[in-house]
Amino acid sequence: MLEYIAFDADDTLWHSEAHFGEAQAQFRLLMQQYLNGSYEDRYLQETEQRNIQHYGYGVKGFGLSMIETALELTQGRISPEHIRFLVNLTKELLAAPVRVLPEVEAVLDELSGDYPLMVITKGDLLDQETRFLRSGLSEYFRCLEVVSEKNPFTYSRILRRHRIRPERFLMVGNSLRSDIWPVLEIGGQAVYIPAPGAQEPLPMDDSTPGQYVRLGSIGQLPEWLEARLLAA
Amino acid sequence: MLEYIAFDADDTLWHSEAHFGEAQAQFRLLMQQYLNGSYEDRYLQETEQRNIQHYGYGVKGFGLSMIETALELTQGRISPEHIRFLVNLTKELLAAPVRVLPEVEAVLDELSGDYPLMVITKGDLLDQETRFLRSGLSEYFRCLEVVSEKNPFTYSRILRRHRIRPERFLMVGNSLRSDIWPVLEIGGQAVYIPAPGAQEPLPMDDSTPGQYVRLGSIGQLPEWLEARLLAA
């Protein structure tokens, strides 16, 4: 029996990587003008990784990292108009329409009658809150939890706060590292639904603290839950 | 009788405006080089205000707004090295040491024995979390709530979440608009402690939904709470 089901948001409920991917493509085009085609996407990713400790996850940090990368790679030759272009690109990412993934709304409509649902997501606080509201999905959820990192500690804190027993908590998400492993580690349950077109994940090592279920799409979730109930 | 006491963080528990003020002073010096001394602080403030809807409160949005203001005011004449200076200024603000205000630690030490305490603050999630941990004060608090806006809705949500009755909730802070008025509006209690050197606030209009108490410093809080208990 489950007391609560939680969903990751970005690329579980709505598109996210696609928007970042479009921004990265624009950034790539811009950098190639300055670098005679020798730009590689990893330059931006390395700046982002280095800055996570300062900025955390989210669009604003991504924007600041684009500007920093551009200054570095062009050795200061980037024009101010192009810096302004990067500031605008950041704002466009924040204002981008929320594109809900297929089957999501029907699944939430069905499950919210049987279980309390919540969203647990990383990123900028205001950005994730407005995205949640603009998605049109907020009515299906009891609450939204925006966290700076998804690790066993943050999941434990959320479960304590809502008085949920770990063994009766199910997390659904597209990231093994953020949505699945830390939840298994605190004794919770997890359903892994890879984003369409995502790379095959690395196999878990032997220290993995439990098992998770993998579904091909979120549309299979209600049936899986029902079969589980019948088997119990 | 109180069930819970909540404290604002920035300029209630530790210095914040002073750090922003130093960054603004550096920004002013830079802009005056380009604008022959005709720069005014309100230019940056206007950009920040306009961008709140995109960025929310916090250091990362402040940094992006500095860059945008510099590009606008110099009409693109700002040098890339100076943009890099603004990126670094943003990171320095995030990494700045947390300077706890006088009397704060003694007051928290005393009160945390008698009441559960929490912090309610606006700003960037990761930034406020690390500031909370770096302050050395986290042991006195049951929890930290970072919100995107302090209004009656957000306070109601926090109280529901912690099962606190509004009439038994006390908020302590330095901002009438963020810490006092919305708490009175939902039936809570509030103690206003102006930051040292802060401007005198405007008087409340007649629609103010309750009364608040004003103390000269946080050091007076335990005595005020005790006098209230004796009078009850």
Mean pLDDT by 10 residues, chain A (232 residues): 96 96 97 92 97 96 98 94 97 96 98 98 95 98 96 97 96 96 96 81 56 94 94 82
Q: What is the mean pLDDT of residues B194-207?
A: 64
Say whether residue A133 is in contact with chain B using an 8 A CB cutoff: no
Say whether residue A146 is in contact with chain B using an 8 A CB cutoff: yes
CB contact under 8 A, A64 and B60: yes
Q: Hunting for tokens 């809705």 — which residue is that? A: B153
Residues 6+ apart with CB under 8 A from B121: B8, B9, B10, B128, B144, B145, B146, B147
Partner-chain residue, chosen from A67, A124, A146, that has the shortest CB–CB distance to B87? A67
pLDDT at position B209 = 57
Residue B201 has pLDDT above 90, yes or no: no
Q: How confident is the model at residue B229 (pLDDT cuts 50, 70, 90)?
A: confident
Partner-chain residue, chosen from A77, A87, A146, that has the shortest CB–CB distance to B64? A87
The pLDDT tens digits of the residues spanning B150-170 come to 999 999 999 999 999 999 999
Partner-chain residue, chosen from B54, B84, B161, that has the shortest CB–CB distance to A91? B54
The one-letter code for the residue type at B103 is E
- A64 contact residues in B (CB cutoff 8 A): 60, 63-64, 87, 90
Say whether residue A125 is in contact with chain B using an 8 A CB cutoff: yes
Say whether residue A145 is in contact with chain B using an 8 A CB cutoff: no
pLDDT at position A231 = 86
The pLDDT tens digits of the residues spanning A114-161 come to 999 999 999 999 999 999 999 999 999 999 999 999 999 999 999 999
What ipTM does this complex have? 0.91
pLDDT at position A229 = 87
- B149 contact residues in A (CB cutoff 8 A): 126
Residue B34 has pLDDT above 70, yes or no: yes
Q: How far is CA B113 from CA B91, B110, B132, B142, B230, in A?
A: 37, 6, 19, 12, 18
CA-based nearest residue to A218, from A168, A187, A179:
A179
The two beta strands, B169-173 and B189-192, are parallel
Query: What is this structure's pTM?
Result: 0.92
Measured distance CA(B13)–CA(B172) in Å, rounded: 10
Q: Which of residues 34-63 of B touch A (CB under 8 A)?
A: 51, 54-58, 60-61, 63
- A80 contact residues in B (CB cutoff 8 A): 71, 74, 76-78, 80, 83
The one-letter code for the residue type at A160 is R
CB contact under 8 A, A56 and B83: no
Residue B171 has pLDDT above 90, yes or no: yes
Structure tokens at B84: 């890099």
H helices of A112-220, in order, are: 125-134, 152-161, 181-185
The two beta strands, A169-173 and A143-147, are unpaired
Domains annotated for chain A, with CATH where assigned, are 4-14+98-231 (3.40.50.1000), 17-95 (1.10.150.240)
Measured distance CA(A112)–CA(A117) in Å, rounded: 6
CB contact under 8 A, A61 and B63: no
Residues 6+ apart with CB under 8 A from B212: B180, B184, B189, B190, B191, B192
SS3 B121: strand
The minimum CA-CA distance between A122 and chain B, rounded to whole Å, is 10
Say whether residue A94 is in contact with chain B using an 8 A CB cutoff: yes
CA torsion, points A131, B161, A155, A146, in degrees to nearest 10?
Answer: 20
